[in-house]
Amino acid sequence: MRTSEETLAALRSRPHYSMDDLLLIMQVLRSENGCPWDKEQTHQSIRQDFLEECYEAVEAIEADSVPMMREELGDVLLQVVFHCQIEAEQSHFTFDDICDEVCRKLVVRHPHVFGDVNADTSEEVLKNWDSIKQETKQQKTAAETLDGVCRALPALMYAQKLGKRAGRAGMDWRSAEDAFQYIRKETDELAEAMQSGQQEQIEEELGDLLFSCVNTARHLHIDAETALRAAAEKFRRRFAQTEQLVTADGKEMSALPIEELDRYWDIAKQK
């Protein structure tokens, strides 16, 4: 595809761009007289870009910033269009094919809206959604539903989804208190592994402890990923406050023993 000057001129002078314009611009960028960098890209080469744009969109949502969300969601959409164009060039599928597939999925999985199924609560909707999803994906066993959880998810999200799906099959603790007891059990087993000094066993027991924490979070209706991120942000803020206190006393953090740094840390916690 060689883009005409008329097309380029029209794309330069649009007072307002549409979805069709975005698709056309991506075609132009990947065309014979397009951008050298864009033409070289593959699914694999821009995979990390896709991940980063998704995380930046989440950051914009967490910041509750409308301008940021508008920009970052646009960047995510660009990544979708980029991948679609790569496949369209191989005549595998187009952006319209993706729209068609997701629309069909939404209609099928909302029979309470587009059909005659009754679902008056969110719980009933989710139950129907899971049942339809399992049927359309031909998942006949509970283990197959666990296999359907995306392995590329961050570990905490992956663990939480596995626990949730196992729970639907009855493999779950009865309460948050029961799940919490396993944290104590796994803590003891980790301590024993540390005493043994066997690194492989230590890593396994630490993983079991983290998994137990995730399951306890699930029973407490807490998203483990969100909780850990909040704790990490709290640590970042308190670390900065601690450093400011140390610096204000004319000292350097690296030169202080941990006991004195703990004292500064406790002061920072009170601020």
Cβ-contact 145, 165 below 8 angstroms: yes
* pLDDT score, position 35: 93
Where do the domains of the chain lie? Answer: 5-107, 227-269
Please determine, looking at this structure, whether the domain spanning 5-107 carries the CATH number 1.10.8.10.
no
Nearest to 229 by CA among 115, 82, 59: 59
Question: How does pLDDT run across 3-23, given as a tens digit for each residue?
Answer: 778 888 888 889 999 999 999
Nearest to 83 by CA among 30, 20, 31: 30
pTM: 0.69
Question: How does pLDDT run across 70-127, given as a tens digit for each residue?
Answer: 999 999 999 999 999 999 999 999 999 999 999 999 998 899 889 888 888 888 888 7
Question: How does pLDDT run across 23-73, given as a tens digit for each residue?
Answer: 999 999 999 889 999 999 999 999 999 999 999 999 999 899 999 999 999
Question: How does pLDDT run across 209-231, given as a tens digit for each residue?
Answer: 999 999 999 999 999 999 999 99
1: pLDDT confidence band, cut at 50, 70 and 90?
low
